[in-house]
Amino acid sequence: MTEEKHVLSILVENQPGVLSRISGLFSGRGFNIESLCVAATIDPNVSRLTIVTKANQPIVEQIKKQLNKLINVIKVHELTGSKYVHREMALIKVHAKKDNRAEILRIVDIFRCKVVDVGPEHYTVEVTGDEGKMEAILSLLKPLGIKEIAKTGTIALFREPK
């Protein structure tokens, strides 16, 4: 069976140690977490974890069963195969010398990004989008000289029925 990327959305009690138990479940069984984002929901007692992992379907089913056994886990949803909205965010610090500043700003405009910091020899660009958009803008900025990158992992929610 081929490994595919799977997005899990997990609601948990917002308590110390929950993230450690969940990441321990993955590492203890040899599962890799490709991306992990955690934040409180509108209920401050509940957090949402969005985990991206690569595995075949039987392994993902095993992961979901194991997650549901953890005491602080409220609900586990697999978003893969469903209609859902997902995004990543990145801050990209780019070398911005006089001769390439206009090019960087054109790229930022085309990708509907924002310049959030400017220095004598750099721009820091904020990008929000899916994995394809991230790869595309990085491939255009790389030849201009990327100094640093900080990326969130994937965040995702089910789409509401129309």
Full set of structural domains in the chain with CATH: 4-82 (3.30.70.260), 87-152 (3.30.70.1150)
pLDDT at 57 over 90: no
- 89 in helix, strand or coil? strand
Q: State the pLDDT at residue 133.
A: 96
Confidence of residue 1 (pLDDT cuts 50, 70, 90): low
pLDDT tens, residue by residue, 88-139: 999 999 999 999 999 999 999 999 999 999 999 999 999 999 999 999 999 9
Whole-structure pTM value: 0.84
- 78 in helix, strand or coil? strand
Neighbour-count burial of 112, counting CB atoms closer than 10 A to its CB (0-12 exposed, 13-18 middle, 19+ buried): exposed
